[in-house]
Amino acid sequence: MNGKTHGVILGLVWAVATAVGVAVVLSVGILPSPASDEAHTVDNAMSLLTALSVPIFTLVVIVLGYSMVRFRQRGEPTQDGPPIKGHFGLEVGWVVVTLGLVLFLAGYGTVGLIDIRTHAAHAGNELVVQARGSQWFWEFTYPEQKISTKEELVLPLGRPVRFEVSAADVVHSFWIPSFRMKIDAVPGMVTVVHATPNTAGNYRDDFNFRVQCAELCGLGHTGMTVGVTVVEPSQFEAWVARQSPRR
Ligand SMILES: [Cu+2]
């Protein structure tokens, strides 16, 4: 068997494994339920990255496995293997393909990031929620509504939210899995992230409806979580009315 035949066999196995692998990773739903307008942008990027990693993974595993079986050295080796010399075509191809992939992904990611950042910001009528992380709880202040709560984060359906995130003591990270958004909460500064809830829900029915600290911040870090409740705008107004005004 010459080098060309090995190449054809490897190419065929690689193509089949890649097709099967891409079909499998795209059909398996590993992501939490999406519940914001911005979520699909993140999910699409996740699917693209996962699908693109399959051909690279299968190439490495198949070449390795084929070499282990086909070119196996039985017993003690009696001589060195043939020396490996450079291969200009392979090197150029490798650089061009990987550079192209990196540039494509950087462009794709940048477009998605701009999309997420501008979607809510341009929609107008934003609800402002100030989220402040402390060891080890979150406090939410609604400046327009003049209320404040540590019990749960209540949001109206369909209205863009501007989260102004800060920290009282150490670095925390403000993360709502079902909204697919996360941003550091840093003492001494305010970081901003936008989300537009598009699905009603709450923590009791779906644990992805929660604010979770995503930055190790001390002993109570894992418990630094609070439920998110997304309700109809009228129910949100009723909830606001039930809260005692902030002193
Ligand atoms: Cu934490």
Summarised one tens digit per residue, pLDDT across range 16-59 is 999 999 999 888 878 888 999 989 999 999 999 999 999 999 99
Identify the three-state secondary structure at position 97: helix
Say which amino acid occupies 218.
G
**Domain of residue 169, residue span:** 125-242
Residue 247 has pLDDT above 70, yes or no: no
Tens-place pLDDT, residues 75-119:
888 888 788 888 899 899 999 999 999 999 999 999 998 888 877
Listed residues 81, 103, 122: the one ending a domain: 122
Residue 200 has pLDDT above 70, yes or no: yes
Pair 8, 99 in one domain: yes
103 in any annotated domain? yes
219 pLDDT band, cuts 50/70/90, is very high
Report yes or no: 139 and 150 within 8 Å, Cβ to Cβ: yes
Helices 39-70 and 3-27 cross at an angle (nearest 10°) of 150
Identify the three-state secondary structure at position 101: helix
Going from the Cα of 226 to the center of ligand 1, the distance in angstroms, rounded, reads: 12
246 pLDDT band, cuts 50/70/90, is low
**Which span out of 28-32, 33-37, 121-125, 227-231 was modeled with the highest average pLDDT?**
227-231
Report yes or no: 208 and 198 within 8 Å, Cβ to Cβ: no
Average pLDDT (155-182) is 94
Going from the Cα of 216 to the center of ligand 1, the distance in angstroms, rounded, reads: 4
d(CA 129, CA 139): 10
237 pLDDT band, cuts 50/70/90, is very high
Mean pLDDT of the chain: 91
Q: What share of the chain is helix, strand, coil (3-state, %, to 5)?
A: 45, 25, 30
Going from the Cα of 172 to the center of ligand 1, the distance in angstroms, rounded, reads: 5
Average pLDDT (145-165) is 93
Taking ligand 1, which is a single-atom ion, which protein residues have CB atoms under 5 Å away?
A: 172, 213, 217, 221, 224
Pair 50, 105 in one domain: yes
Residue with the bigger pLDDT between 227 and 123: it is: 227
Pair 166, 108 in one domain: no
pLDDT value, residue 29 = 78
Pair 154, 219 in one domain: yes
pLDDT value, residue 4 = 85
Report yes or no: 179 and 144 within 8 Å, Cβ to Cβ: no
Pair 170, 104 in one domain: no
Residue 209 has pLDDT above 90, yes or no: yes
Going from the Cα of 218 to the center of ligand 1, the distance in angstroms, rounded, reads: 7
**Cα-Cα end-to-end distance for the chain:** 83
Q: Closest Cα to residue 131, out of 157, 156, 158, 154?
A: 154
d(CA 180, CA 34): 7
pLDDT value, residue 120 = 64
218 in any annotated domain? yes
**Percent of the chain, pLDDT > 70?**
97
- Residue 157 token pair: 């359906």
Going from the Cα of 56 to the center of ligand 1, the distance in angstroms, rounded, reads: 35
Pair 118, 135 in one domain: no
Going from the Cα of 57 to the center of ligand 1, the distance in angstroms, rounded, reads: 33
Sequential DSSP letters for 192-222: EEEE-B-S-B-TTT-TTSEEEE-S--STTGG
